[in-house]
Amino acid sequence: MARRNRNRKMLQFCLEKKVNWKRNIYVPTTMLKPAQLKVRRSEILQRVNKHYQKKNQKDSTHIPSDSNTANSPADVMVQKGLIKKYRRSLRQAYINNEELRHKNQNLVTANKILQKRIERIRKQQARKEIESSDTEKESELTMMTPRSKTKNEMKNLELNRLLLENTKVRRTLIESRRKFLLTNTVLSELKD
């Protein structure tokens, strides 16, 4: 009982001392000059570093035990340190994985875009080759049916566009198409 009272009094004394120190001596950081603030921060940083050095030394010490108990306090402390390192490495690996996934997606989309460009260029080159060679055109015209020939002639003259735009000229255009078709059929019959 006497010991409890004495401990209680000591605790109260320490708390009062701390409160008085805060009241009388402690100056808030907002009231300090920049140079004094820098000094205080460096002192606090040194204290914190010393504390963590002591803590890490306690964590890393391994006490060999004669008993077969796996959960001794020293072993648990070491395991906690290892778990933190493991979690940290897992977190870093996850971040790296996400970055690589985003890069991969960007590269896949860029690849698709380039493939489409290549296809377009190939198609354009094929069209240019077909248009440039007159012999191929002539061979195509000979192989075409009369109806497809008239369709090509109408396209070349751009009469289809006029047919859609002007309703007044529609009848004359339809008649001219029929005439083209008739002449092409007669020509194909004569060639055969």
CA distance 173 to 95: 68
Q: 111-147, pLDDT tens digit by residue?
A: 999 999 999 988 888 877 777 765 555 555 556 788 8
Rounded distance between C-alpha atoms, residue 168 and residue 173, angstroms: 10
Convert the pLDDT of each residue in 42-89 to its tens digit.
999 999 999 988 888 776 665 655 555 555 555 555 566 778 888 888
> Are the beta carbons of 62 and 78 closer than 8 angstroms?
yes
Q: Which residue ranges make up each domain of the chain? A: 74-132, 144-191
